[in-house]
Amino acid sequence: MDTKTKDQKIKTLKETVRNIPDFPIKGIQFKDVTPLFKTKESLSMLTEVLYEEYKNKGITKVVGIESRGFIMGPIMALKLEAGFIPIRKPGKLPAEVYEEEYEKEYGVDKIQIHKDTLSSEDVVLIHDDLLATGGTMAAAYKLVKKMGVKKIYVNFIIELDDLKGRSLFPEDIEVKSLINFSI
């Protein structure tokens, strides 16, 4: 039986994140979440901490953003007894989609969601691995909001505080990150 407190678990998870200097370009300190998924112990701990955060929120759908949101998103959906909905890059979803364009640090991109995946009865947890400048998640939030859902929660494993991506979201939206880093 694991007797660690939530803060102790988060500290352990933070220490498990790998820092990759100069990736993908010189000057970037890339925070690699993949070590969190590598062992049964760290993956279980990550799942448990995320589940505890959202278990009483009435979540009916977990929306994961391509591609690393596809790792913990389905795991969280199963734990929360909810469905999983992918948000993908253009051309990857076969049925009718809503699309949202957003600015990235190095250009413009788009994401899409199937039109028939969410309803006004859904309580949605949008999940991705990392909040940096926030463009991708802000676009995902706009897509989900456009679908008229009952409530939206936004979640990240890691947040890079200095990049202030959180500022892109309305104040009434609960945005939570498990692990915070300064860059």
| 183 pLDDT higher than 80 | no
- Give the active site residue among 48, 53, 66, 68: 68
Residue pLDDT, tens place only, 61-115: 999 999 999 999 999 999 999 999 999 999 999 999 999 999 877 789 999 999 9
pLDDT tier, 1 (very low <50, low <70, confident <90, very high otherwise): low
Alpha carbon 119 to its chain's center:
20
pLDDT above 80 (res 2): no
**Residue 3 vs residue 79, higher pLDDT:** 79
Q: Is 126 exposed, middle or buried (0-12, 13-18, 19+ CB in 10 A)?
A: buried
Closest C-alpha to 63, from 52, 80, 48, 77: 77
Q: Which of the four pLDDT bands, split at 50, 70 and 90, describes residue 28?
A: confident
pLDDT, residue 126, reads 98
Sorting pLDDT into bands at 50, 70 and 90, what band is 136? very high
**How far apart are the C-alpha atoms of 49 and 15, rounded to whole Å?**
15
DSSP 94: -
pLDDT at residue 96 in the model: 98
pLDDT in tens, 117-131: 999 999 999 999 999
The span from the CA of 121 to the CA of 67, in Å, is 26
- The residue annotated as part of the active site, out of 15, 101, 105, 121, is 105
Percent of the residues in the chain that have a pLDDT greater than 70, as a whole number: 98
Annotation says 100 is catalytic: no
105 is catalytic: yes
Between CA 149 and CA 71 the distance in angstroms is 23
Helix residue spans in 55-123 (DSSP H)? 69-79
Q: What is the mean predicted confidence (pLDDT) over 141-164?
A: 97
The pLDDT value given to residue 55: 98
Arithmetic mean of pLDDT over the chain: 95
